Amino acid sequence: MNYAEYLWNRNRRSKNNECIDDGEQALGWGDLLQCVRGTAGWLKAQGVVPYDRVLLQMEDCTELPVLFLACQWIGAVPVMAHPDQALPDDLPPIKLKVTDPDQFEVQDPVNIPFMKPTNECAVKFISSGTKGKSRIISWSIFAMCFTANKMYGHGLIDDNPRVLSMPRMSWGFGLGASLRDSFYWGGYTRLIRGVPTVERIIQHIQEFKPTHFYVIPTVLQKLLDRADRNLFTRTKWIVSGGEALSKELSQEFHAKFGRRVYDGLGAHELGGFFCMQQPENYEYGTVGKPFDQVRIKLSKDGEMLVSTPARALGEPEWYRTGDIAEITDQGNYRIIGRKGTRIKVQSRWCYPEEVETIIKNIDTVEDVRVYKKGTELIADIIAPQDQDTKNLIRSQLPSEAKIIKFNYVDSVRNLNGKVVR
């Protein structure tokens, strides 16, 4: 199956005249087809042949999905990377590297037949690593279609959605939202060019009026603090991923904006999301239930093991996620912390995420990462460097964590917005 051909056949009769824009350039489904065909011709002129790898290390813009689908059209494999990402030493051979929209030309559409790939690799990611080590992750064409179907079956996307994603397409979360799910269901996607600051995200929501908004919890907290309560009047679904969403943040967001946040759990190694909250049986502070055909079991120490048909190529049938979880009375999964990160503070065991949640609830704290170094409990923190802030933080912490020491930093996250531990 050719993925580009499959998407095109699904969307011949889409009710959305537009399919993608970045605030500067918009393409309808017919325009997209012509641009993809023309770009496929340009790729062939550069010597790209089936199974070659094409590195797409660009900011989000309309040209990025055009290039992605043009690679699919001719049977090449797109390799997604953040514009500022350092490339690993073990990166497979790359035939062509595209870093700028001005680097390629959309030629006149030519009659290039869809290539039927014999291997099922649809895309490769340079993952920061769910377990902390950079890896090359390969998603199959089947996995792309499987997860898009399960998002629909879980009740979290519908026909002809208007999608705005804060995560970039270089990350599986962002590619899944902006292209996989949206295009599969005949959607219209708005991409955010450049750095997705909170102010720019608010502007795009006001202009584009998405029905589906994908975001990480840290940005949800900033929207809660800065945005007007009427911001999401046209938004039906808000999907969160990439890091733990606290019960308190989810409840406060719902109270202010009148919209539930549907938290999901996923990993590059498992084809993206595999477990997510649902409209029915919704429970704050959980990641819901697994998709149909996804199996989950907990080890003796509570680690979540997952088996899914959408797992990345080469991954074992049962993948150890590193997440410590429990099952609630309603049958939903709740994530307690990460395996190996639990720390002992004054005779009490706790997870850094528990302390981080308390600290991030303080208005003057922009972000934080908590860990133990030797016998010391450390907080890398982005906040005002004054004694009042320190005293306020300590006053909110349990007694055993009041010994925490502060290290003021500029960032605690990687390029995809995930906390680096």
Task: Indicate the CATH number for domain 3-336.
Answer: 3.40.50.12780
Give me the pLDDT at residue 258, please: 97
| Tens digit of each residue's pLDDT (9 = 90 or more) over 2-18 | 888 888 888 876 656 78
Of the chain, the end-to-end C-alpha distance in Å amounts to 39
Residue 366 CB burial class (10 angstroms; 0-12, 13-18, ≥19): middle
Q: Enumerate residues 6+ apart whose C-beta is below 8 A from 382.
A: 365, 366, 367, 368, 408, 409, 410, 411, 412
Strands 376-382 and 367-373: antiparallel
Is 386 within 8 Å of 408 (Cβ atoms)? no
Partners of 349 in the β-ladder: 344
pTM for this entry: 0.86
Q: Are 336 and 327 in contact (CB under 8 A)?
A: no
CA 174 – CA 198 distance, rounded (Å) = 17
79 token code pair: 């390799």
Give the pLDDT confidence of 360-382 residue by residue, as tens digits: 888 889 889 888 887 788 899 99
Per domain, the residue ranges of the chain are 3-336, 343-408
Query: What pLDDT is recorded for position 397?
Result: 86
Query: What was the pLDDT predicted at 329?
Result: 96
Q: What is the length of the chain?
A: 421
- Structure-derived torsion over alpha carbons of residues 149, 263, 286, 290, reported in degrees to the nearest 10: 10
Q: Which top CATH class is 343-408?
A: alpha beta
Tokens of 94: 């790359």
**Which are the contacts of 192, defined by CB distance < 8 A and separation ≥ 6?**
22, 23, 60, 164, 165, 166, 200, 201, 204
DSSP string, 353-419: HHHHHHHHTSTT--EEEEEEETTEEEEEEES--SHHHHHHHHHHS-GGGTT-EEEE-S--B-TTSPB
Residues of the chain short of pLDDT 70, as ranges, are: 13-16, 108-119, 128-133, 345-348, 415-416, 421
